[in-house]
Structure 1
């Protein structure tokens, strides 16, 4: 298997640290527990847990399923030792569930590197869009899922093709039926795509509809990993894990905008426009961004805690 990760080739953008992090970094990694063996890490994150321990970083497990269901957050984090700083690496949580986890951990004297406010800013498009708008497709969004609000948002972009998502996620694997709108001016057809997106997202639908002007991209996406405003690692995107990042990727321009967000740990997915420019597809909270299988776990742990 090819290793498709590399340190960021461009200069470090910003040495500033954000949040409750010491010079040595937090020394606790939190991962979801295995459903059948609740004292052990979930298999998907076991390699990262092993890499953390090998680097001298303690690991603790949380009950992700209980958190996601909105159950007692205190019980969900009961296996976390008290009184230290931590980073979560696990399955996605909505912003309210993440805040509940952070509150339960705080009651144990545990401070997450990424606060609930910072998590929401990175996790939901309205939180990061303005800071990086020069580097990403023009976007508008609704608050809620009503058709009138959707129609008003579409009018803001006027006409032409667009891509739909909600505040946190697209349904790009259902491209024709729930993501791509060939013509915004055809309001009935556009709403049909939006309604299908809403149906497929179900209870996970977050915030409202996001309408993004379609841009023609070429090649696979690249995932970049940023801690404290510094680009620390460049990897393949998990959807195209066998495609290594191109050698000519330069994150300098977008890096200044990402650094200005002041967020502790984020990912930024980039891809090449057909005119040759590198464009930002989306930003995500790094705690819940998937690591491509071609990137060794120790590379990510080193980038996160190094």
Structure 2
């Protein structure tokens, strides 16, 4: 029995050793040349490399690689580097929060996408439960919980019924509780910043219904201070020591803030990334997809 277990263990180790690591160029600055299969090419973001490739880093240049979708590291000194020497860098895992982002970027940049940026939820752990209430209003499960400090972001819904007026309610409890605010609107959304003066830090619960009808489904709105929000952004900004450009940092923060339910802030950072690097289709399409997903006009 012990012999069989030892053989199985050795077999697994041999399989692991035989697997080839892959590297994706995530970020770069300056002159970086790829040498692979006897060919030389200028490096570019999104280039997928085998472990047999080598990199020639010029003076005052830097390149950041993702290895096997799970780890990020930079090479910042002039010289020639064989990627076979960096297979150990593929073993470190940043954990689910950054790991989800690395897998998303890897998928977007290494594969041909017909609609880049539209499948973010497949890489996030924060999608809410499907609604089971029976009414004429549908609220996207991604809006189950929103954490908000400041800035523009709409609380939006869809209507299955032909209606031109809707009732919006804000409560202090998720089942009964007091109505803190109510309004009648012709729009299928209410901007949070228009309610900001009414809301102190804490938990609130909102709902929408066709005018004259009831909707028992309530979504969570958590108000936090700008200090608490800024502390989170600082932690996320410094979560990796690898080199990133300003646009790449903004895009990463957008993804991670969306996953953390800070949707107004995610919107700002996705927009910043698309503005700083308009020629990067993943940034532009993700920003447009985000606006469409959350009915941002």
TM-score interval (norm. to shorter):
under 0.3
Please report the TM-score for the alignment, with normalisation by the length of structure 2: 0.25
Q: Which has the higher strand share?
A: 2
Please report the TM-score for the alignment, with normalisation by the length of structure 1: 0.25
